[in-house]
Amino acid sequence: MGLIWVEMQLKDKVALITGASSGIGKETAKLFAKEGALVILTARHLDKLKFVEDEIKIKGGKADSFSMDITNREQIKETIKNIIEKYNKIDILVNNAGIAIWNSIQDVSYKEFDDQININLIGYFNCIKEVVPYMLKEGSGNIINIITSTVKKTKPGRVAYAASKYGQAGLSNAVHEDLKDKGISVIAVYPSKTNTSIHDAYISKDNPQREKMLKPEEVAKVILKAALIPANKDVKEFVVGI
């Protein structure tokens, strides 16, 4: 029996992934590379990204790393300019970087609230804003915004976090409407609680709750599904694990 050839689903695509040094971002990068994409890994700490880049390259994948703070607009602009100069295009943006500050309205500080909004909501906007002109020039693209099931059912003690995530959902839906007739697919992915380092400050690593969480690899598979949806399908969200 001859070999069965399976075409890689993201062959020749350039995928920019924020928050790619761990968790969902890391697993998405590994899966995208396996499917033939050149993955552009971004996060604040370049040394951590290099470990992921090496892991991908050892397995025959293509990857490159850039230090990028999603709250720094000038740095984002410069990074994306450098990516375009080096690779000519960005086909996919996965907005994934973020933080979780869990406090009630009584306890949350002004700084904690501002940090949550600046990183989670404004950070997503910054990346979309800089990538869209290049996608419009190509007449195609896929933007995937990783949000959370919190926007489907908010729990107590999530004031700043929920505000940022509801904002992400509104942003994603609005950008979807702006771009769906221009060849660019914009999809929000809503995973339920996922076993990543974002929970380390609140849940110990050996807590039984961890066993009930989604695995980052499970979320990555849905992100891959979202990355394959063309704009003319008019799909705006996938919910995972609810």
Catalytic residues: 161
For residue 220, the tally of other CB atoms under 10 A from its CB is 23
- Name, in order, each residue with C-beta under 8 angstroms of 141's C-beta and a sequence gap of 6 or more: 90, 91, 92, 93, 131, 132, 134, 135, 183, 184, 185
Handedness of CA 105, 109, 110, 113 (dihedral sign): negative
CA neighbours closer than 13 Å in the CB half-sphere of residue 23: 21
CA distance 127 to 176: 15
> No. of H helices and E strands in the chain?
8, 7
Residue 141 pairs in a beta bridge with: 184
Q: Which residue has the tokens 């999530």?
A: 158
For residue 107, the tally of other CB atoms under 10 A from its CB is 10
